[in-house]
Amino acid sequence: MTLAVHGGDPVRTADWPLWPRPAERAAEQLTEVLHSGRWSISGPYRGTDTKERTFARMFARYNGTGHCVPTASGTAALMIALEACGIGAGDEVLVPGLSWVASASTVLGVNAVPVFVDVDPDTLCMDPAAAEAAITPATRALVVVHLYSSLADMDALRDLARRHDLVLIEDAAQAHGAVYRGARAGTMGRAGAFSMHHTKVLTCGEGGAAVTGDAELALRMAELRADGRHQPDRPPALHEMELVSTGTVMGSNRALSEFHAALLIAQLEELDRYNEQRALQASVLEKALTDLGFTPQRTSPGTERRTYFGFVFRLPRDLDGVDAPTAGAALTAELGLPVKPVYPAIPGAPLYRPHSRRRFDLGADHRRRTDPARHRLPVSELAAARHLTFHHSALLGERRDADDIVAALRKLLDHRADLGR
């Protein structure tokens, strides 16, 4: 049998599960907003809580924390979290060398300096020792990312934050519902940020949320996302504008629309069920891949429940010579499912281009602080050559989907000599 990339028959031609999947109550929720006379939080009070406020309450409760501020995107959630924690001009913020570009571009977005630190080779999350080595007197915060299906080593990172008096912000954009020593991802630092983008495990197309246990911080985040206004504890008279102005902080409009919030109310009801289904399928794959010599992404000790935004695995050593892009293209052809290398290390990534934006202060001082010679990232830089990932939606089907993935990997191993050519 020939590999599908070389014109042979593919292992699979059947479709993969579609994502996003509308929740049972999605249409009903959206229709309610359509006829409500209230499409935005900055609109008149119509006698009931906004969908935005309802979702905020539900998502805070889901995460076992006090407060949630919904936002237009995960990017917006990270920005208000950083700013509300007082991070700004000239502050250094530790960011993992491996993540989606927004984990770092948001640090620049609040005028701070992202200092990249390497990741752990098994979890692909921030390496606590590398983080500690990157601390300078200007370091004010660290943005910890729970990447793909792993939770970062929160025991060590929280300890580090405590010892150096740093603000810890969790980028939980990929980890809705994951649990670490009894706490949900996103609730272990001063603030946590989620993305509800199309690809994520909880989605409304475009959206986000910041969570915190600190009421004062929550109020600051709320004002930062609504041009300095916030929702009062008690609603105004019917048909009066609901948001009140305090003039405490100048914000920007990063609010989530009522349609998006309504959709999230419906989708949140199905998050746990989908997370369980993905974890079950992932555990089947983890075992089978390990038997074949692949190394599935690990998570940190202390993890009680993983969620799978992406399923990630490292190629076996005896595939050396065949890199992840080549193997990924072969698997994609066998399965009709995109199987891609993990993210490139952020500093050299095509999407990380600070100099393309005149708004950022990138003078000599910035160059000195971010000098690549000072902040080496060997693990982050090698990751995309050795690791492959596919989207979580492929874990939402039947058991035989896992069998197909395993069959494609087996075929790849059998034909590795052909791929080296």
Ligand X SMILES: *Cc1c(COP(=O)(O)O)cnc(C)c1O
Enzyme catalytic residues: 200
- Site size toward ligand X (CB under 6 A) is 14
Q: Is 208 in the site for ligand X (CB under 6 A)?
A: yes
- E-assigned strand segments in 78-135: 92-96, 113-117
* Shortest Å distance, C-beta 202 to ligand X: 11
Q: Which is nearer to ligand X, 107 or 412 (CB)?
A: 107
Q: Which is nearer to ligand X, 104 or 402 (CB)?
A: 104
Dihedral sign computed on CA atoms, order 104, 313, 119, 367? negative
State the Cα–Cα distance between residues 387 and 323, nearest whole angstrom.
9
Q: Is 99 in the site for ligand X (CB under 6 A)?
A: yes
State the Cα–Cα distance between residues 202 and 196, nearest whole angstrom.
6
Q: Which is nearer to ligand X, 104 or 266 (CB)?
A: 104
Q: Interaction with ligand X in 172-191: which residues (CB under 6 A)?
A: 173-174
Interface with ligand X (CB under 6 A), residue from 29, 73, 257, 295: 73
Strand order in the sheet with 183-184: 183-184, 179-180, 303-305
Dihedral sign computed on CA atoms, order 56, 71, 167, 154? positive
Query: Is the Cβ–Cβ distance between 208 and 75 less than 8 Å?
Result: yes
Q: Is 75 in the site for ligand X (CB under 6 A)?
A: yes
How far is residue 58 CA from its own chain's centroid?
20
* Shortest Å distance, C-beta 384 to ligand X: 15
**Could you tell me whether strands 113-117 and 92-96 are parallel, antiparallel, or unpaired per DSSP bridges?**
parallel
Alpha-carbon radius of gyration of the chain = 22
Q: Which is nearer to ligand X, 75 or 303 (CB)?
A: 75
Q: Is 197 in the site for ligand X (CB under 6 A)?
A: yes
State the Cα–Cα distance between residues 354 and 213, nearest whole angstrom.
33
Window contacting ligand X (CB under 6 A); options: 133-141, 170-178, 349-357, 404-412? 170-178
Q: Is 267 in the site for ligand X (CB under 6 A)?
A: no
* Shortest Å distance, C-beta 381 to ligand X: 18
Interface with ligand X (CB under 6 A), residue from 55, 100, 259, 294: 100
Residue 34 CA neighbour count, 13 Å, CB half: 7
Residue number closest to ligand X, CB atom: 74
Window contacting ligand X (CB under 6 A); options: 12-20, 171-179, 249-257, 263-271? 171-179
* Shortest Å distance, C-beta 380 to ligand X: 14
Question: What values do phi and psi take at 106, rounded to 5?
Answer: -70, -30
Nearest CA to 209 out of 139, 284, 136, 268 is that of 268
Give the 3-state secondary structure of residue 251.
Answer: coil
Query: Is the Cβ–Cβ distance between 29 and 265 less than 8 Å?
Result: yes
Window contacting ligand X (CB under 6 A); options: 32-40, 167-175, 261-269, 352-360? 167-175
* Shortest Å distance, C-beta 416 to ligand X: 32
State the Cα–Cα distance between residues 162 and 402, nearest whole angstrom.
42
What mask, x for binding ligand X by CB under 6 A, covers residues 273 to 312?
----------------------------------------
Q: Is 170 in the site for ligand X (CB under 6 A)?
A: no
* E strand or H helix that includes residue 414: helix 399-414
Could you list the residues that contact ligand X (CB under 6 A)? 73-75, 99-100, 102-103, 145, 171, 173-174, 195, 197, 208
